Amino acid sequence: MEFEVSFKDLKFTNEYDEDKNPTKSFAHFVDPITGKKRKVSVNWGTYKISNEKTAMRLLVAKVDTVLKKERIMKTGGVQNFGHLKEKWFNSWSLTVKPQSTRTTRSIMATVIPRMISDEILLTLISPLYLQERWTEFTKDEKAFQTGQPLSSSTLSKVRNILKQIFGFGVINEILEASPMQYLNLKVPKERLEMTYEKKRFKFLEGEEIDWMLEVLYDITTRENSRVEFYFDSAVLESLCH
């Protein structure tokens, strides 16, 4: 069984009866939340303890339980990523336009869970965990609608939302530190290049514009030879956009 505290974090003492047999054991520790000195105890008779090693293990478990209960009370019951995500969204959505909330809600519901499960405990989300999940996520995940790799725009939004969620956790003392504080989650270069290519094809190249003008001119002069066809800078500008 894994505990949040270890033997080295505690100081153990005993109470003895007249025959110098231990009757009660204590574990002294500093509360990491309040910074105050505290202690817990176990009664040898109640727990049918036969040796000090058993008493020490029971005390470690008892301290661990106390600290876990205090942390739950302090964080308002927020223990997993899903709870933190919802608390952030409920707070953030009050400050932005409805369109922004719809977009973010969609990403939170359909994209982010594919990277970080709602059920994972916050204590398990480390910088290394996030880096590994981001690497796998950006490599393998595809958009549901197109079946194509997630765009650089979507990945950037996911990264930004995660930063805000964990930042919210720190500000509200749910987290001691953001696991993204020292991370630089990069969008893969090939995704950025894909986005560039898509944008590039929205605009005509110079040769394509010349060809279009020639075709338009031929069509116009054939239909009505008396029409004079002018292409001023305004027309060229509109074609380029």
Distance between CA atoms of residues 135 and 138, nearest Å: 5
Q: What amino acid is encoded at 80 in this protein?
A: N
- Domain-located, residue 15: yes
- pLDDT computed for residue 214 by the predictor: 61
- Domain-located, residue 174: yes
Distance between CA atoms of residues 219 and 221, nearest Å: 6
Summarize the confidence of residues 63-77 as an average pLDDT: 74
For the chain, what's the residue count?
Answer: 241
Range of the domain at 218: 206-240
Whether 88 shows a pLDDT value over 90: the answer reads yes
pTM of the model: 0.56
Summarize the confidence of residues 80-100 as an average pLDDT: 91
- Please check whether residues 129 and 215 belong to one and the same domain: no
Q: How many domains does the chain have?
A: 3
- pLDDT computed for residue 58 by the predictor: 93
DSSP string, 98-150: HHHHHHHHHHHHHTGGGTS-TTSBGGG--HHHHHHHHHHHHHH-B-TTT-SBP
Per residue in 177-205, pLDDT (tens digit) is 999 988 888 887 775 555 444 544 454 55
- Please check whether residues 63 and 94 belong to one and the same domain: no
